[in-house]
Amino acid sequence: MQFAYGVLTHTPLWVFVLLAYLVWQGFKAMQPRTTTIWRALIVPAVFIVWGVSRIGLRQDSAWPQIAWIAAALALLPLGVLTPRPFELDHATGQITRPGSVFPLIRNLIVFGLQYSVAVIAAIDVHDRLLAAIIGRAISGATAGYFIGSTIALLRAYWRKRQQDAAI
């Protein structure tokens, strides 16, 4: 119990704010909703920035960087090939997505993995290299997946917009 209390009290406040935002967005995504394309890119942008921000962290080995690159390259195609469906309002340019529990589950898994690795790296100095490799792999996978899903969303959006122009 003291361990968990220590971890929570040493967690920066912004982490709890980010978790609350991701849970809120996940719950909102469970209902069908209409939004602009740019608002639909906020959560992917958060995860991309979070994933990319880990690249520049100091390390004594090249393995964390290699893990980041390999994981990003592995999950980028998954993001591109698994776009979430949406309908386009041709008059306003807004998109309507059906409700799904997937974004909530995805947000919580990615957050939990990132948070766990950060806690391990902060607590166990003996396994810091291993934590750095795993942490960079998770960050790379996160960034790669969300870059891929952003590419898929924007491609589908522009394709639907071009179909409007052709009509």
Residue 62, domain extent:
14-166
CA distance 22 to 148: 19
Residue 1 belongs to some domain of the structure: no
Summarised one tens digit per residue, pLDDT across range 66-87 is: 999 999 999 999 999 988 889 9
Residue 68 belongs to some domain of the structure: yes
Flag whether pLDDT at 167 surpasses 70: no
Q: Which two tokens stand for residue 17?
A: 């704010």
Q: Where are the alpha helices (DSSP H) in 54-101?
A: 63-81
Dihedral sign, Cα of residue 140, residue 143, residue 146, residue 150:
negative
Residue 74 belongs to some domain of the structure: yes
Pick from 63, 57, 51: nearest CA to 110: 51
Residue 8 belongs to some domain of the structure: no
For 105, list phi and psi in degrees, rounded to 5.
-60, -45
Number of domains in the chain: 1
The pTM for the full model equals 0.82
Residue 6 belongs to some domain of the structure: no
Q: Which two tokens stand for residue 89?
A: 């309002």
Residue 50 belongs to some domain of the structure: yes
> For 81-85, 108-112, 121-125, 146-150, which range has the lowest pLDDT when averaged over its residues?
121-125
**Alpha carbon 6 to its chain's center:** 27
Residue 7 belongs to some domain of the structure: no
DSSP symbol at 87: E
Residue 155 belongs to some domain of the structure: yes
